[in-house]
């Protein structure tokens, strides 16, 4: 147990430093290539911070642990939306670009609704599962999202201007690669040891997926968004969360479903609708108070509401 705790702390250190290097490298790369911070957040940073979920889900799918697969993705998305945006928004109010409000946030809501209908097989009279055909639909939607991002790779004239450091190309890519390696390695250390500790306490696969695995694989997003918020780079913070949620729902579940058709427990429906509700709240928050900004009180609502729900889940398990 002591060794597992030491490795978990080491993983946390790797996550924090990896996030710091990744944000620095990605921000400088954006400025040098005349690309907006939002686009970098939606692509490089989002993919990098979603890598732990991809690794965990590929293994869980191949070993036929569907509750870990769904719990990890749905739980990670809820953790991203409620906990990470909540913490980042408490640090500093987060200004949100118009394209995020009207395009990326609604797209993430659409992805969650589509997953709900596919997993519950509303279109076919079969048992609830995510088939390989469903996985292909998710991956096609992911390709459509990437195409959309590709059309946004010119600097938005309204985008927040962040001063770029004078790094060489080698140093920029060195920071990005080392940062991603730190995030993936740190995330794996945290998850592996947290799961081992939880299993020794007799916690179920579903609760492990929704809480410990989800929180563990979301630590890169937490570290990246908190660092970005402290550096007053709201585009990276917001783009990272919204982009990661879309990556999780479409790419990671798509890949997981291709590896093996996944049985789906309808008890996850509640968590999907909570995800949808939180996304709708985030959208409405853009028009309450200062326009296109997540204020501290709104961040507090996100954070506190999900902490209460997590406590309820753990109480049910007990």
pLDDT of residue 153: 58
pLDDT of residue 216: 76
Taking the chain (318 residues) in runs of 10, the rounded mean pLDDT of each run is: 80 78 79 70 67 79 86 91 91 81 90 94 70 93 85 54 66 88 80 75 73 77 81 75 89 94 91 94 87 88 90 71
pLDDT of residue 162: 44
The dotted CATH code for 2-317 is 1.20.1420.30
pLDDT of residue 157: 47
Closest CA to 15 of 230, 243, 219: 219
pLDDT of residue 124: 60
Single pTM value for the model: 0.78
Do the Cβ atoms of 226 and 87 come closer than 8 Å?
yes
Domain range summary for the chain, segments of one domain joined by +: 2-317
């Amino acid at each position: 147990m002591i060794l597992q705790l030491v490795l978990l702390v080491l993983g946390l250190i790797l996550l924090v430093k990896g996030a710091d290097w990744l944000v620095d490298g990605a921000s400088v790369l954006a400025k040098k290539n005349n690309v907006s911070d939002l686009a970098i957040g939606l692509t490089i940073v989002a993919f990098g911070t979603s890598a732990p979920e991809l690794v965990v889900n590929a293994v869980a799918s191949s070993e036929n642990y569907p509750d870990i697969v769904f719990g990890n993705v749905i739980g990670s998305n809820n953790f991203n939306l409620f906990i990470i945006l909540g913490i980042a928004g408490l640090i500093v109010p987060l200004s949100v670009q118009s394209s995020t409000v009207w395009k990326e946030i609604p797209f993430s809501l659409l992805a969650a609704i589509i997953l709900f209908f596919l997993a519950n097989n509303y279109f076919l009279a079969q048992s609830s599962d995510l088939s390989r055909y469903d996985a292909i639909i998710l991956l096609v939607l992911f390709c459509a999202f990437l195409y959309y991002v590709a059309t946004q790779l010119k600097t938005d004239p309204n985008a927040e201007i962040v001063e770029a450091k004078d790094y060489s190309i080698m140093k920029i890519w060195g920071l990005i690669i080392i940062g991603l390696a730190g995030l993936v390695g740190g995330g794996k250390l945290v998850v592996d040891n947290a799961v081992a500790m939880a299993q020794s306490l007799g916690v179920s696969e579903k609760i492990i997926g929704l809480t410990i695995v989800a929180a563990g694989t979301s630590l890169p997003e937490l570290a990246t968004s908190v660092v970005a918020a402290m550096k007053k780079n709201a585009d990276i913070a917001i783009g990272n969360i919204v982009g990661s949620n879309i990556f999780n729902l479409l790419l990671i579940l798509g890949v997981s479903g291709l590896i093996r058709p996944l049985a789906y427990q309808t008890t996850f429906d509640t968590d999907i609708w909570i995800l949808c509700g939180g996304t709708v709240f985030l959208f409405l928050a853009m028009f309450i108070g200062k326009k296109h900004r997540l204020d501290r009180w709104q961040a507090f609502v996100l954070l506190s509401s999900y902490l209460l729900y997590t406590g309820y889940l753990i109480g049910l398990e007990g």
